[in-house]
Protein backbone atom coordinates (compact mmCIF):
# COMPACT_ATOMS: atom_id res chain seq x y z
CA UNK A 1 0.00 0.00 0.00
CA UNK A 2 1.54 3.24 -1.16
CA UNK A 3 0.33 6.12 1.06
CA UNK A 4 1.30 8.81 -1.46
CA UNK A 5 -0.59 7.02 -4.21
CA UNK A 6 -3.63 6.58 -1.96
CA UNK A 7 -3.59 10.26 -1.04
CA UNK A 8 -3.34 11.23 -4.70
CA UNK A 9 -6.19 8.89 -5.66
CA UNK A 10 -8.37 10.28 -2.86
CA UNK A 11 -7.73 13.82 -4.11
CA UNK A 12 -8.64 12.78 -7.64
CA UNK A 13 -11.80 11.14 -6.29
CA UNK A 14 -12.84 14.36 -4.54
CA UNK A 15 -12.66 16.11 -7.90
CA UNK A 16 -14.38 13.31 -9.81
CA UNK A 17 -16.50 11.15 -7.48
CA UNK A 18 -18.19 9.41 -10.41
CA UNK A 19 -15.03 7.86 -11.81
CA UNK A 20 -15.21 4.10 -11.15
CA UNK A 21 -11.55 3.65 -12.01
CA UNK A 22 -10.52 5.78 -9.03
CA UNK A 23 -12.65 3.67 -6.67
CA UNK A 24 -11.20 0.53 -8.23
CA UNK A 25 -7.65 1.83 -7.86
CA UNK A 26 -8.26 2.66 -4.19
CA UNK A 27 -9.81 -0.74 -3.53
CA UNK A 28 -6.85 -2.54 -5.06
CA UNK A 29 -4.39 -0.34 -3.15
CA UNK A 30 -6.08 -1.13 0.15
CA UNK A 31 -6.47 -4.84 -0.60
CA UNK A 32 -3.01 -5.77 0.65
CA UNK A 33 -3.08 -3.89 3.99
CA UNK A 34 -6.66 -2.96 4.90
CA UNK A 35 -9.02 -5.58 3.52
CA UNK A 36 -12.05 -4.12 5.30
CA UNK A 37 -11.56 -0.76 3.62
CA UNK A 38 -10.92 -2.46 0.29
CA UNK A 39 -14.20 -4.33 0.75
CA UNK A 40 -16.05 -1.02 1.25
CA UNK A 41 -14.66 0.37 -2.00
CA UNK A 42 -15.49 -2.82 -3.91
CA UNK A 43 -19.02 -2.80 -2.45
CA UNK A 44 -19.47 0.80 -3.58
CA UNK A 45 -18.33 -0.16 -7.07
CA UNK A 46 -20.68 -3.15 -7.20
CA UNK A 47 -23.66 -0.99 -6.23
CA UNK A 48 -22.94 2.27 -8.02
CA UNK A 49 -21.04 1.00 -11.08
CA UNK A 50 -22.26 -2.55 -11.71
CA UNK A 51 -21.04 -2.52 -15.31
CA UNK A 52 -17.43 -1.81 -14.29
CA UNK A 53 -16.41 -5.37 -15.04
CA UNK A 54 -12.91 -5.26 -13.58
CA UNK A 55 -14.42 -5.09 -10.10
CA UNK A 56 -15.86 -8.59 -10.00
CA UNK A 57 -12.64 -10.60 -10.15
CA UNK A 58 -11.04 -8.84 -7.18
CA UNK A 59 -14.23 -8.34 -5.17
CA UNK A 60 -15.16 -12.03 -5.36
CA UNK A 61 -11.65 -13.11 -4.39
CA UNK A 62 -11.69 -10.71 -1.44
CA UNK A 63 -15.02 -12.07 -0.20
CA UNK A 64 -13.59 -15.59 -0.49
CA UNK A 65 -10.65 -14.42 1.65
CA UNK A 66 -13.20 -13.31 4.26
CA UNK A 67 -14.73 -16.80 4.00
CA UNK A 68 -17.98 -15.31 2.70
CA UNK A 69 -18.29 -18.05 0.13
CA UNK A 70 -21.92 -17.52 -0.91
CA UNK A 71 -21.30 -13.81 -1.43
CA UNK A 72 -18.14 -14.53 -3.44
CA UNK A 73 -20.03 -17.03 -5.60
CA UNK A 74 -22.80 -14.50 -6.26
CA UNK A 75 -20.26 -11.85 -7.20
CA UNK A 76 -18.53 -14.19 -9.65
CA UNK A 77 -21.86 -15.12 -11.23
CA UNK A 78 -23.05 -11.53 -11.48
CA UNK A 79 -19.71 -10.51 -12.96
CA UNK A 80 -19.89 -13.22 -15.61
CA UNK A 81 -23.40 -12.08 -16.50
CA UNK A 82 -22.32 -8.42 -16.73
CA UNK A 83 -19.27 -9.29 -18.83
CA UNK A 84 -21.42 -11.28 -21.25
CA UNK A 85 -23.97 -8.45 -21.44
CA UNK A 86 -21.27 -5.85 -22.10
CA UNK A 87 -19.20 -8.06 -24.42
CA UNK A 88 -16.15 -7.69 -22.16
CA UNK A 89 -14.32 -10.73 -23.50
CA UNK A 90 -11.03 -10.26 -21.64
CA UNK A 91 -12.74 -9.83 -18.28
CA UNK A 92 -15.14 -12.66 -19.09
CA UNK A 93 -12.33 -15.16 -19.73
CA UNK A 94 -10.47 -14.05 -16.62
CA UNK A 95 -13.59 -14.23 -14.47
CA UNK A 96 -14.73 -17.63 -15.75
CA UNK A 97 -11.30 -19.08 -15.08
CA UNK A 98 -11.22 -17.62 -11.56
CA UNK A 99 -14.78 -18.83 -10.93
CA UNK A 100 -13.95 -22.39 -11.98
CA UNK A 101 -10.88 -22.37 -9.72
CA UNK A 102 -13.02 -21.00 -6.89
CA UNK A 103 -15.60 -23.77 -7.36
CA UNK A 104 -12.86 -26.40 -7.25
CA UNK A 105 -11.08 -24.84 -4.27
CA UNK A 106 -14.25 -24.68 -2.19
CA UNK A 107 -15.63 -28.01 -3.49
CA UNK A 108 -18.77 -26.40 -4.91
CA UNK A 109 -19.20 -28.53 -8.04
User: pLDDT tens for residues 45-103?
Assistant: 999 999 999 999 999 999 999 999 999 999 999 999 999 999 999 999 999 999 999 99
Distances 27 to 13, 34, 69, 86 between C-alpha atoms, Å = 12, 9, 20, 22
Please tell me whether the overall predicted TM-score, pTM, comes out greater than 0.85 for this model. yes
DSSP character string of 48-73: H-TT-THHHHHHHHHHHHTT-HHHHH
Residue 24's domain comprises 3-105
In the chain, how many domains are there? 1
Q: Are 102 and 64 in contact (CB under 8 A)?
A: yes
The CATH number of residue 33's host domain is 1.25.40.10
Amino acid sequence: MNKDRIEQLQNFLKNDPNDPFLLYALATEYKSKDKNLAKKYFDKLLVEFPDYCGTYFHAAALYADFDEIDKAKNIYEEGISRCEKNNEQHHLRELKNAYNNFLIEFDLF
